[in-house]
Amino acid sequence: MIDFGITFFSAVLSLFVRFGFDFESIKGFLSASLIQVIIMSASYMINFFYTVVWRYTSLKELLVIFRGTFVGYLGTLGFFYFYRGLVLPRSVGFLTFLASLVLISASRLFLAWLNSTNFKKIQSPEKRIAILGANNEGVALLDEINRRPDLGKVICFVDDDTKNIGRKIRGISVEGPVGKLNSILREKNIDELIIALPNASSKYIREIVNNIRDLNVQIKVLPGIYELTDNKLKIVQLRQLNVEDIIGRQAIKINFAEVEEYIRNKKVLVTGAGGSIGSEICRQVIKLSPKELLLLGRGENSIYEIYEELREDFPEIPLKRLIGDIADSKRMEMIFEEFRPDIVFHAAAHKHVDIMQENPVEAFRVNSFGTKIMADLSEKFGVDRFIFISTDKAVNPTSIMGLSKRLGEIYIRSIGKNSRTKFGIVRFGNVFGSRGSVPLKFKKQIESGGPVTITDPRMKRFFMTIPEAVALVLQTGAYAQNGNLFVLDMGEQILIEDLAREMILMAGLVPDQDIKIVYTGMRPGEKLYEELFLENEKAVNTSHPKILLVEGKNSFSREEISEILLKVLELGYQKKLKDIIALLSTYVPDMSINPDDSGG
């Protein structure tokens, strides 16, 4: 009824605009105008005006109003074209349409404003927000927060761009530069800072945190851009700042189109799909529309968890849960025979250095021989691409785990030289958040009140977040061929002690006072620092700045390495570790492993 009244008022107003105070003329055309009002009112119903909740009006809803009023105007033109009993001046018809569009839109916007105003009065939000980054992401966050007043109120943007500083976006001032962040937040009495920079490096974020550490300001960040489903920003994706952001986060961009090209409509098999790396591969692959995603793992619980997560988020993508041991050749052949994958991401492995020191035969059985089985079957069943996930511990190995992964590398390089399957190897260091990783260990120790245990104060490690590492693994898949070895640029190595102290500070505690740091001594197989390249290996740039191609000799034949792997496995079952070390000294001359430090 309100819309009918608005349209009738628009019609009368249009008559006055056209005829002024010539009431005789107005009276003569009033019946024709009433017909237009009726036609347009019918159009509103046909165009579903009244299925919309107008309290939450946005541009999309305003387009519905334009469609309804315009269709009504076209209906009016059609009616008077075919019916000659009445005449409606064209100017009156158009002005009625135009006035109705403006006034009905204004009524909806007023309702939305009234709703948000009342909501603010009820909620009385006190949180004052600053957004670091006057960019597309920052503006999208502003719009989201304006629609959700319960989240707080945006007071200002902070940016380094001199073209933005001193101006306004959506009525919100842009302050700067970022070097003055501390004083800006203090002056504006800010409660929460949102870092709206998806590709900000850990170094940049660390500088921001150190700059405002003395302020009682909550910090939230956006995830990396590759973590955003369909590259779309949502307010729910904001999260609290964590240690990965200030130590392990890297500014990484990948070519989504290039990666999607080789994954879309393909059957993808991920081994170790329930593990830290494997599950993240699944999360990122499924966003690229594979034909089917095959989740292979030895533990049913972890496969169940990743399956349920993916099925809920991507119900349209077919998923298969496959339970099996990659070193079980008959079971693996069953899987390849039935499902015929196009792409294999081989992430399944035993990775704990100290545990594999105590169980060397299992390291060789899974990491070396299991890799051989998966590679052989991939070639046999015509897999297009096979990506083997290796580790920096394979370089100059001092542990059984590192040696077993090195043997996997050697085999992949030997089989890939003359194969139709595009074999590739990706070697990288530690990742945050993987099971049993140092940061998770420190987190538990801090939560329990300490102490935090470090083997050696000189210990250094590379670190990268799991999503970042996996994004680069997928990018590397586009380059894979001939068994080539690729290394991810992990940035600078981080002192483990610095990591521990930063995590204690982020928990709101003081290192060496609230939480003690204790040094326990190095364990068998450990290194003081990690290495990514052998002496005879040369790094060559690829089209991606974070991915390096390794050039180095691999003169061993596939048949020779196959025979060696069988001998290693046989000696492992006989607990003859010294014989294994002696046998492999020709193939891995850079290893330095003490067999007396290992178990059975």
* 208 alpha-carbon distance from chain centroid: 22
* 413 alpha-carbon distance from chain centroid: 30
User: Distance between CA 348 and CA 491 in Å, rounded?
Assistant: 25
Q: Per-residue pLDDT tens, the chain, 600 aa: give them.
A: 888 888 888 888 888 888 888 788 887 788 888 888 888 888 888 877 877 776 666 777 788 888 888 888 888 888 887 887 788 888 888 888 888 888 888 888 887 777 665 555 545 457 899 999 998 888 888 888 887 777 889 999 999 999 999 999 988 999 989 999 999 999 999 999 999 887 787 788 888 888 888 888 888 887 665 444 444 555 555 777 777 777 766 667 788 889 999 999 999 999 999 999 999 999 999 999 999 999 999 999 999 999 999 999 999 999 999 999 999 999 999 999 999 999 999 999 998 888 999 999 999 999 999 999 999 999 999 999 999 999 989 999 999 999 999 999 999 999 998 899 999 999 988 777 666 678 788 888 988 888 999 988 888 887 778 888 899 999 999 999 989 999 988 777 788 888 888 888 877 778 888 889 999 888 777 777 777 777 777 888 888 988 999 887 777 899 999 999 999 999 999 999 999 999 999 899 989 887 776 665
Residue 301: the pLDDT is 95
Residue 508: the pLDDT is 72
Residue 55, classed as helix, strand or coil, is helix
User: Distance between CA 208 and CA 433 in Å, rounded?
Assistant: 23
Residue 47, classed as helix, strand or coil, is coil
Residue 224: the pLDDT is 60
Residue 304: the pLDDT is 96
The burial of 12, by beta-carbon neighbours within 10 Å (0-12 exposed, 13-18 middle, 19 or more buried), is given as: middle
All structural domains of the chain: 2-121 (no CATH), 128-241 (3.40.50.720), 262-436+472-491+530-597 (3.40.50.720)
For 585, other C-beta atoms within 10 Å of its C-beta total: 12
* 393 alpha-carbon distance from chain centroid: 26
Residue 308: the pLDDT is 96
For 288, other C-beta atoms within 10 Å of its C-beta total: 18
User: Distance between CA 297 and CA 579 in Å, rounded?
Assistant: 31
What string of DSSP letters covers 105-147?
Answer: HHHHHHHHHHHHHHHHHHH----EEEEE--SHHHHHHHHHHHH
Which pTM value belongs to this model? 0.68
Distance linking the first and last C-alpha atoms of the chain: 85
The CA angle 206-210-211, to the nearest 5 degrees, is 115
Residue 248: the pLDDT is 63
Nearest 10 degrees: CA dihedral of 140, 146, 152, 155?
A: 70
Radius of gyration of the chain from its Cα atoms, rounded to whole angstroms: 32
124: left (phi over 0), alpha (psi -120 to 50) or beta: left
